[in-house]
A = this chain, B = another copy of it.
Amino acid sequence: MNSHIVYQVLDLVGTFVFAISGAVAARQRRLDLFGILSVAFVVACGGGIVRDVCIGATPPAALSDWRYLATSMLASAVTIAAYAKVRRLRFPVLFFDAVGLGLFAVSGAQKSLTYGHNAELAILLGTVSAVGGGVIRDMLLSRVPSILEREIYASAALLGALVFVVSAEVGAMSAWTPWVATAVCVGVRLLALYYGWRLPVYRGTKARREDARTRTNA
């Protein structure tokens, strides 16, 4: 299979999965039809648009390639039609969200490398592609982005992008690399969910008391 097509497919499946998560969030907020379509599209494509603007790939593919818009609209339609069912699928939604995370981390890193940029940029923009849409969604809905407060999420995306880019840099790239890197990200994310893994949070007792006092006085 042509490797260009592989990344296209990764990207469109990731778009579909993320658009569903966006549409569910928008429907829970009672947004109207247009609001649901908009939030689904932003969650699915926001990260990729930021990535494309940063690597100079204008206009962003998500805005000029009709397949991204069509995929988002299809996902919105599925969500609206089968909302009662989609809502109850707590585990599947988290599962697909993890899959989207891995797919976007890898396809984002790969696109950045394709444009001839260096490894650091590819790793950072792979991560941005994966988590950007969710951050924009949370900023739109006026809440602190869950990725900043939550379990291992952005760090799993970073790890997936890292595995992919390091493989590419050391010349160990094969037809398996994108799948392995995606699997690493998805696996770490799902294991973190299952076992409740967290990154260290720093709170010395003394500093915490002072912070509490600051907040009370503020």
Interface residues of A (CB under 8 A from B): 26-36, 38-39, 49, 53-56, 58-60, 63-64, 66, 69, 80, 83-84, 87-88, 117-118, 120-121, 124-125, 135, 139-145, 147-149, 152, 154-155, 158, 198-204, 206-207, 210-211, 214-215
Contacts and interface: CB of A to CB of B under 8 A. Distances in A.
Q: How many copies does the complex hold?
A: 3
A118 B64 contact: yes
Contacts of A80: 202
B142 A142 contact: yes
B121 A28 contact: no
B142 A84 contact: no
Nearest to A120: B66
If over half of A's interface residues share one DSSP class (helix, strand or loop), that class is named, otherwise mixed; here it is helix
Nearest to A58: B56
A54 B144 CA distance: 26
Contacts of A158: 34
7 contacts: A31-B149, A32-B198, A33-B200, A34-B158, A38-B148, A55-B58, A135-B140
A31 B83 contact: no
B140 A144 contact: yes
Nearest to A35: B148
A203 B87 contact: no
A150 to B, nearest CB: 9
Contact of A148 (B140, B148, B200): B140
